[in-house]
Amino acid sequence: MIRTALVTAAMSALVFHLGGCQRGPASPAEDSTAMAAPAAQPTAGPAQRLEPAASGKVAQPSLAKRPEDVLDAFAAAIEARDWRSVRAFWADKGDRSGMDARLFAETWGRLKAPSVVIGEGQQEGAAGSIYYTAPVVITDGDRTITGDVILRRVNNVPGASAEQLRWHIDSTTLNPGKP
């Protein structure tokens, strides 16, 4: 209940803030890389909820500079059972998850009332990329799924695209499809 109230307040503040920008609607090219999630949220609080845009487009992970913020948004999307948004956290608009949208929704859809806890992660750099590994626990009724989520982003390399610069899931040992 408190989480919903905080999210509603945060989203309202974002709408009012963006309304003052007097910026026209995003072009389709901009929209494909536009990311939903307020940037000024504390990570110690509850996970942010990603809401699908009013146009029906899938909410996407943010361009947040902190991997913790991205994992909070990932957790919120899982708890909301928004499988399109959850899949979007992988690179290449979800294709790097190894599943098409239908199979992904079928696999993750086995979760009925998930609650997600993200543990403290570790960051390291290697060969032009930054990696962030965090333990994740998903509780779904009497079922518990544990694993690691490894986020990756390209280090600030000249010429890197917005997609390469965003934190995205590189791999995970979470397996929601396993009974």
Q: Quick: pLDDT tens for 7-36.
A: 444 444 433 333 433 333 333 333 333 333
- At 132-153, the pLDDT tens digits run 999 999 999 999 999 999 999 9
Mean pLDDT across the chain: 73
What is the Cα–Cα distance from 103 to 110, expressed in whole angstroms? Answer: 11
Asked if residue 47 lies in contact with residue 38, where contact means CB atoms within 8 angstroms, the answer is no
**Fold adopted by 2-172:** Nuclear Transport Factor 2; Chain: A, (3.10.450)
Q: Where are the domains of the chain?
A: 2-172
What is the Cα–Cα distance from 27 to 16, expressed in whole angstroms? Answer: 21
> Residue 90, SS3?
strand
13, two tokens: 């503040």
Question: Looking at residue 177, what is its pLDDT?
Answer: 82
pTM for this prediction? 0.66
